[in-house]
């Protein structure tokens, strides 16, 4: 797939678009660049495949002929069943409101989710949203009819409060009983071990999990030079520092944190994608599309 023109994906330029629906359509149209191809196989009346019976499945879909041959329960899955329920979860804690450039992590996250939801909706998926801090804040249930409600909720949401990512993920596991795709957009200020366990719990309920880890360039490079007082965005704690004395140690700790996140989250079965908020959205869009295509082939 050819690269989309940078103007469609540059977060600084996207920040000038106030309408999230227009922004999402602009990003998706530019990204697909005329090569939009539906992931849907056909109508819901067309048989697609068999899969193993799971508790809660409609008993009327059991294929008794297959049971007679194999002594195992399988259900018939139709084409519409291959479409997914996608829950987008946005970290709304105060740390997400940071941005050293024209776009904060929170704005970038909203741009990303709006674009992915637009793409998913037009592929026939059910889309939903959860914003969270220490607990879930706003919830839009997954539906083929909820795109506009999702975009409206995103548009009025704000980043504030003290985050608790693992608690929010635990609550997320109970939003839907049907396995689907959970897309988490967060700055990952959480213990990698605790986060890995929370994601493993979500995976055990049958969900595919994609985590987009948003990183501002200042968090990555620590470019500060003058002695100043730094304030924790969530706790309000203030600490006077001389950046040149701590830069090497800071960058080493950040790299260690990212390495631990990679190990724990991939080990838990998630797709883990680091996204720098001064870069175009194409890395995140490609990662999501690759996972969505892989899932449609498996199912």
Q: Are residues 22 and 55 in the same domain?
A: no
Contact between 23 and 35 under an 8 Å Cβ cutoff? The reply is no
Domain final residue pick, 23, 56, 80: 80
Res 42 pLDDT > 50: no
**Of 163, 174, 142, 268, which Cα lies nearest the Cα of 214?**
163
Distance from C-alpha of 92 to C-alpha of 231, rounded to nearest angstrom: 18
For residue 103, is it within any domain?
yes
- Give per-residue pLDDT as tens, 91-118: 999 999 999 999 999 999 999 999 999 9
36 falls within a domain: no
Angle ∠(6,131,166) on CA atoms, nearest 5:
105
| Average pLDDT over every residue of 263-281 | 94
Q: Give yes or no: residues 209 and 252 share one domain.
A: yes
Q: Which residue has the tokens 């309408």?
A: 19
| Region for residue 256 given its phi and psi (left: phi exceeds 0; alpha: psi -120 to 50; beta: otherwise) | alpha
> Do 91 and 15 lie in a common domain?
yes
Q: Residue 108 has what pLDDT?
A: 97
Same domain for 55 and 152, yes or no, is no
CA proximity to 79, closest of 120, 46, 121, 39: 46
Q: Which domain holds residue 249?
A: 6-31+84-298
pLDDT for position 45: 40
Return the pLDDT at 5. Answer: 47
pLDDT for the residue numbered 8: 63
Residue 39 within any structural domain of the chain: no
Among 17-26, 51-60, 113-122, 240-249, the minimum mean pLDDT is found in: 51-60
Our count of domains for the chain comes to 2
Same domain, 213 and 260: yes
DSSP structure string for 231-295: E-TTT--EEEE-HHHHHHHHHHHHHHHHHHHHHHHHHTT-EEEEEETTS-THHHHHHHHHHHHHH
Region class of 269: left (phi > 0), else alpha (psi between -120 and 50), else beta: left
- Cβ atoms within 10 Å, residue 212: 27
149 and 213 share a domain? yes
173: domain CATH number is: 3.40.50.410
> Do 69 and 182 share a domain, yes or no?
no
Same-domain pairing of 70 and 102 = no
The lowest-confidence range among 28-37, 115-124, 214-223, 289-298 is: 28-37
Residues 242 and 142 in one domain: yes
Chain position carrying tokens 């985590």: 211
Q: Are residues 119 and 258 in the same domain?
A: yes
């Amino acid at each position: 797939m050819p690269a989309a023109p940078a103007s469609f994906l540059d977060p600084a330029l996207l920040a000038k678009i106030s309408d999230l629906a227009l922004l999402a359509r602009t990003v998706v149209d530019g990204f697909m660049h005329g090569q939009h191809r539906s992931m849907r196989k056909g109508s819901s009346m067309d048989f697609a495949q068999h899969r193993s019976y799971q508790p809660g499945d409609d008993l009327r879909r059991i294929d008794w002929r297959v049971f007679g041959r194999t002594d195992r329960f399988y259900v018939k899955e139709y084409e519409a069943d291959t479409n997914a329920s996608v829950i987008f979860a946005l970290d709304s804690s105060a740390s997400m409101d940071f941005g050293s450039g024209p776009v904060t992590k929170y704005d970038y996250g909203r741009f990303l989710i709006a674009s992915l939801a637009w793409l998913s909706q037009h592929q026939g998926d059910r889309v939903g949203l959860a914003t969270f801090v220490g607990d879930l804040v706003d919830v839009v249930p997954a539906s083929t009819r909820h795109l506009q409600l999702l975009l409206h909720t995103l548009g009025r949401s704000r980043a504030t409060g003290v985050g608790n990512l693992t608690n929010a993920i635990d609550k997320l596991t109970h939003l839907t009983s049907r396995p689907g795709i959970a897309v988490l957009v967060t700055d990952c200020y959480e213990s990698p071990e605790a986060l890995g366990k929370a994601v493993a719990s979500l995976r055990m309920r049958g969900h595919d999990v994609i985590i987009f880890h948003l990183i501002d360039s200042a968090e990555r490079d620590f470019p500060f030079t003058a002695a100043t007082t730094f304030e924790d965005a969530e706790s309000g704690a203030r600490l006077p520092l001389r950046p040149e004395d701590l830069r090497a140690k800071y960058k080493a700790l950040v790299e260690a944190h990212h390495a631990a996140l990679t190990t724990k989250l991939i080990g838990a079965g998630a797709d883990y994608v680091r996204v720098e908020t001064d870069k175009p959205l194409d890395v995140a869009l490609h990662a999501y599309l690759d996972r969505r295509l892989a899932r449609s082939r498996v199912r």
